[in-house]
Amino acid sequence: MAIERIDPELCNGCGICVRICPMDVFRMDEKSKKAVIAYPEDCMLCEFCVLDCPKNAITVTPEKTAPLILSWG
């Protein structure tokens, strides 16, 4: 759903996705030295991560769902 996965086998830890995502979705994992999806709910499906990843490690799917409205979050 929206940003789906970073393939850890393909990710080379270059950090481009972490640097460029306009919605600040990614972080570098200190231990694995690879990019991880930290805030998937903020993905807006611009797909610049897919365009810019040199290893084609990133999957974005076309669906996005609205969160359920609970009381405060």
Q: Which chain residues interact with other proteins by CB under 8 A?
A: 2, 19-24, 38-39, 41-42, 44-48, 51-52, 62-64, 66-67, 69-70, 72-73
Closest to other proteins by CB, 9 or 25: 25
Cβ-based burial of 31 (10 A; exposed 0-12, middle 13-18, buried ≥19): exposed
- The nearest distance, CB 6 to other proteins, in angstroms, is 17
CA dist 68 and 3 (Å) reads 19
Judged by CB, which is closer to other proteins: 9, or 62? 62
Q: How far apart are CA 39 and CA 12, in angstroms?
A: 20
